[in-house]
Amino acid sequence: MLQPEKLAQAIQILQELNLDAWLIFARETEETPERAWELLAPGMVVWESALLLTKHGDRIAIVGQGDDDAYRKSGWYSEVHSYVQSIRELLRATVTRLDPQQLALNFSESNPNADGLTHGMFLTLQKILRDTPYPARFISADPILSRLRGRKTAEELRRIRAAIKRTLLLFDETTALLKPGLSEKQIAEHFHRRCDEWNVGTAWAWNQCPTVNTGPHSSAGHGGPSDLRVEPGHLVHIDFGIKQDGYCSDLQRMWYVLKPGETEPPAHITHAFNAVVKTIQAAADILRPGIVGWHVDARAREVITGEGYPEYQHGLGHQVGRAVHDGGTGLLPRWERYGDTPYGIVEANQVYTIELGVQTDAGYIGLEEDVLVTADGVEWLAPPQRELMLVRSN
C-alpha cells in the first residue's frame, strides 16, 4: 500500500531534518484537495481535520465524526481522535502534549506542492493555538514535502512506469492514425476515447490534454486543440499524459507530414529537431544526484542557443508523480515566478521531465522526455525520440 510507505518515509524525513512535528490541517479535501493529505491518509475529510506526525514516530489523526471510520480501519495511525462540535480542544491539547520545538505547516511561496494550507485555515490554526508557544514555532513544511514527494517509492515508480507505457501506446496509435484532413480536435478525441475506455484521467485539464499543434498557425500554449487540420508539410506536436492509479506521465512527441514527392523533412526542420534532441541529451548527461536544478536548465539554454535557436520561455523540467508538476526542486531558470525551486538539489529516485521546443515555419517542435534519477545518472523511462516520425500524405 502506498500511504503506509509514504507515512514511514515522512517520519524518516522528519528525523533526517531533525524537525519535531509536522501538522497537516485541512477540510473538505474532496473539493479542495490538500496534496499532502491524499498521500498520507486513507480517505477524505469534510470538517476541519489534522494529521500530526513527529520524528518520534507518532502518527495522529484528528477528524470529524463520520470521517473517523476509515482512519481507524486503516490501522495506519497510532492515534485516531474524532469530534463533533469543534476540533479546538482536541487539537490544542494534542499539540501541547507533543510540545514540538518546530511545527511544520504546509505553506510555501515557491512550491505549490507544499502550499496546501489555505489562508483561512492558517488564521483558524493561529486562533486555536493562541496563548501557546506554538504559533511562534510555525515553519514551512516545504523541506519535508519536497523530499517526500520527490523520493519515489517502488510502488510509486511502478505506477509512473505503467502510466508512461500506456501513453507510448497512444503515441504509436497516433502514428497510424495521422493523415491530412484530421483536425487537432479529432486527434484529441482519439486520446480521450482511449482514456474513457481505460477509465484513466488525463494528467492535466481534460479539455487541454492532449495539446495538439499542427502546422505553423497553431499556438503551442495550453489553449486546447483547435479546428486546424493536418496538411502536407505540417509538423504535428502532441503534449500528453495520463493519470492512472493517481500517478502521471507527461511526454511530447513529434511527427512530420511529408508533402507529395518528399521522402524526408526539409533540412532546416531536421536541423531544428536535432538541436532539440541534442539539448535534451546534454541535459540528461549532467542530470544526477547532487546537481543544482538551475544548472541543468542553464546547460540546456547554452546548447539550444549555441545551435542558433532562441531560449525556450519556460523551465526545462519539472518532477512528475501524483501531480504532473510534482516535488519541489525543478530544472528551472532563476526566474522570480519559480521562487526557490531552481535552487534545489537533485536526489536519486526523483522523476523529471526534460522538455523544450523551437518554433519553425512548419510548426512548433517540442519534445519532452521522462527520466528517473539513478545513483549516478538517469534512466530514460520511455525511449527518447531521436527522429521525426514521418506521415505520408496519401
- Binding part of the chain for a copy of itself, among 121-129, 143-151, 268-276, 374-382 by CB under 8 A, reads 121-129
Query: Binder to a copy of itself among 50, 114, 298, 382 (CB under 8 A)?
Result: 114
- Check residue 116 for interaction with a copy of itself (CB under 8 A): yes
Q: Is the dihedral of CA 226, 227, 228, 231 positive or negative?
A: positive
- Binding part of the chain for a copy of itself, among 122-130, 172-180, 274-282, 364-372 by CB under 8 A, reads 122-130
Look-up of cell digits 498521500: 39
Q: Within 309-328, which residues bind a copy of itself (CB under 8 A)?
A: 313-314, 323-325
- Check residue 85 for interaction with a copy of itself (CB under 8 A): yes
- Binding part of the chain for a copy of itself, among 14-22, 58-66, 94-102, 281-289 by CB under 8 A, reads 58-66
- Cα separation of the two ends of the chain: 50
Q: How many residues contact a copy of itself, by CB under 8 A?
A: 67
Query: Binder to a copy of itself among 54, 124, 249, 341 (CB under 8 A)?
Result: 124
Distance of CA 124 to the CA centre of its chain: 29
Task: Judge contact between 319 and 373, C-beta under 8 A.
Answer: no
Q: What is the chain's alpha carbon radius of gyration, rounded to the nearest angstrom?
A: 23
- Cβ proximity to a copy of itself: between 59 and 243 the closer is 243
- Cβ proximity to a copy of itself: between 36 and 60 the closer is 36
98-136 per-residue burial string, b: 16 or more CB within 10 A, e: under 16:
bebebbbbbbbebbebbbbbbeebeebbeebbeeeebee
Query: Binder to a copy of itself among 208, 270, 281, 349 (CB under 8 A)?
Result: 208
- Binding part of the chain for a copy of itself, among 32-40, 50-58, 174-182, 287-295 by CB under 8 A, reads 32-40
Distance CA(329)–CA(344), nearest Å, equals 5
- Check residue 305 for interaction with a copy of itself (CB under 8 A): no
Task: Judge contact between 160 and 381, C-beta under 8 A.
Answer: yes
DSSP, residue by residue, 333-375: ---GGGTTGGGPBP-TT-EEEEEEEEEETTEEEEEEEEEEE-S
- Please tell me whether residue 115 adopts helix, strand or coil conformation: coil
- Cβ proximity to a copy of itself: between 26 and 388 the closer is 26
Query: Smallest gap, in angstroms, from Cβ of residue 255 to a copy of itself?
Result: 21
Query: Smallest gap, in angstroms, from Cβ of residue 243 to a copy of itself?
Result: 10
Query: Smallest gap, in angstroms, from Cβ of residue 135 to a copy of itself?
Result: 13
Query: Smallest gap, in angstroms, from Cβ of residue 124 to a copy of itself?
Result: 5
- Check residue 65 for interaction with a copy of itself (CB under 8 A): yes
Query: Binder to a copy of itself among 220, 258, 291, 390 (CB under 8 A)?
Result: 220
Distance CA(269)–CA(260), nearest Å, equals 17
Helix axes 293-306, 267-286, angle to 10 degrees: 160
In terms of Cβ atoms closer than 10 Å to its own Cβ (0-12, 13-18, 19+), residue 370 is buried
Query: Smallest gap, in angstroms, from Cβ of residue 193 to a copy of itself?
Result: 11
Query: Binder to a copy of itself among 136, 154, 176, 205 (CB under 8 A)?
Result: 205
- Check residue 227 for interaction with a copy of itself (CB under 8 A): no
- Check residue 343 for interaction with a copy of itself (CB under 8 A): no
Query: Smallest gap, in angstroms, from Cβ of residue 304 to a copy of itself?
Result: 16
Beta bridge partners of residue 366, listed in sequence order? 357
Give the amino acid at 218: S
Question: Cell triple for residue 355?
Answer: 522538455
| Virtual torsion, Cα 166, 170, 175, 178, nearest 10 deg | 180
Distance CA(280)–CA(145), nearest Å, equals 27
Query: Smallest gap, in angstroms, from Cβ of residue 261 to a copy of itself?
Result: 34
Distance CA(5)–CA(40), nearest Å, equals 9
Q: Within 232-291, which residues bind a copy of itself (CB under 8 A)?
A: none
The contact set with a copy of itself (CB under 8 A) reads: 27-28, 30-33, 35, 43-44, 46-48, 64-70, 73, 83-88, 105, 107-124, 127, 140, 196, 199, 204-205, 207-208, 219-224, 313-314, 323-325, 335-337
